Structure 1
């Protein structure tokens, strides 16, 4: 029986991807580099640090230190986030979170986003009350598909790994979940461009396909 649900955030709980994309591409313009769509998509699920480390490998002309690049991107993102009024939780996810919480299923967040960004989202949408733990990708040297973040999240569960599931929307996230040996639900939305769900144990197109009863009965 499933006792713990581990959520990704971007693309699963809230669609901040357009804000991230705006921030990254404004910064790419400032850096005078052209990042193809396929390359940008390959960074989905990466932390900001790992994204810039990869970009510096692709573009030797980028001379700034990774920490400086991270701070600039974060400033652009925060300014855009605070002024973006049409930012909502993804359809159906709040009802699912509340249903799981009220039925005694533990909720843990494991997101590649920074702690600052997670806190902004959780504060804006009043989500802190539902989650027992928040795990940020900035605490790990490697991003998804490395399973470290999910292994750590599972270690915080009230139950063994076999009684956990992960909800992810990205290729890298799904690969990380499977590398951690945890049952993975792939959330395929209109925002999940070019992502591969072939390794997910279950694929959904809307959160109304899940509820506490269905999740608790998953044979992981």
Structure 2
């Protein structure tokens, strides 16, 4: 029986990948980085440090990884701070969060995004009070597909990994959760690109397809 559910944020709680991609493509053009769309999509679910280190090394960008990360993050948070409609909830996910909360399930967000963005998003979604923990990829050494972020979230929740279920939309996120020894619900989000999530324990196309009882079946 599961005791905790850990949600990814981008592409799971909010449909943010198109905006991330749009803003990052703008930066690629500004710094003269030739990155294909296929390469770009492959970074869905990873930290910005992971992506920008790759871009810097591949394209010989004359900026540090830290400068590139800061440029990316500032542009994103400035945009969502100024545009209320930029934070678009995935249909049905709020209802699932509230149902799990009512069943005394411990809840966390574990996202590769920085903590200030995670805090802003859950506040905008009016879900802040439902989550026990908010965990950023900045809190751990290794990005997804390594399991570090999910193991850290489980530790903060005081729940063993085997009693945690992760909800993810990306290949690297699903791999990270499986490596952590957790069950995984793979959410097919077309805006997250063609993600291989077939190794998930359950695959859904809508959050209306799952509830507490169905999650019990995979735990």
TM beyond 0.5: yes
Alignment RMSD (CA, Å): 1.4
- Structure in which a larger fraction of residues adopt helix: 2
3-state SS of paired residue (1:44): coil
| Corresponding residue for residue 189 of structure 2 | 189
On the 8 A contact 2:119/2:134 being kept in 1, the answer is no
On the 8 A contact 2:202/2:218 being kept in 1, the answer is no
3-state SS of paired residue (1:145): coil
| Corresponding residue for residue 141 of structure 1 | 141
Deviation of 1:163 (Å): 1.4
3-state SS of paired residue (1:151): helix
3-state SS of paired residue (1:218): helix
3-state SS of paired residue (1:166): strand
| Corresponding residue for residue 117 of structure 2 | 117
| Corresponding residue for residue 206 of structure 2 | 206
Quote the Cα distance in structure 1 between the aligned partners of 2:181 and 2:162. 8
| Corresponding residue for residue 81 of structure 1 | 80
Return structure 1 stretches of 4+ with deviation > 6 angstroms.
none
Quote the Cα distance in structure 2 between the aligned partners of 1:94 and 1:40. 29
| Corresponding residue for residue 99 of structure 2 | 99
3-state SS of paired residue (1:90): coil
Deviation of 1:155 (Å): 1.6
On the 8 A contact 2:7/2:108 being kept in 1, the answer is yes
On the 8 A contact 1:169/1:188 being kept in 2, the answer is yes
More displaced stretch, 101-110 vs 158-167: 158-167
For residues 35-86 of structure 1, the C-alpha deviation after alignment (integer angstroms, 9 at most, x for no partner) is: 10111011111111111111112111x0111111111112211222123343
| Corresponding residue for residue 65 of structure 1 | 64
Which residues of structure 1 form unaligned runs of 5+?
none
| Corresponding residue for residue 54 of structure 2 | 54
Quote the Cα distance in structure 2 between the aligned partners of 1:26 and 1:179. 34
TM-score using structure 2 length: 0.94
More displaced stretch, 71-80 vs 106-115: 71-80
| Corresponding residue for residue 128 of structure 1 | 128
Deviation of 1:219 (Å): 3.9
| Corresponding residue for residue 152 of structure 2 | 152
Quote the Cα distance in structure 2 between the aligned partners of 1:23 and 1:137. 20
For the structure 1 residues 158 and 142, does the alpha-carbon distance in structure 2 shift closer, same or farther, using more than 3 Å as the test? Answer: closer
More displaced stretch, 190-199 vs 1-10: 190-199
TM-score using structure 1 length: 0.94
For residues 103-144 of structure 1, the C-alpha deviation after alignment (integer angstroms, 9 at most, x for no partner) is: 111101111001111112112122210010111001223210
Which residues of structure 2 form unaligned runs of 5+?
none
3-state SS of paired residue (1:156): helix
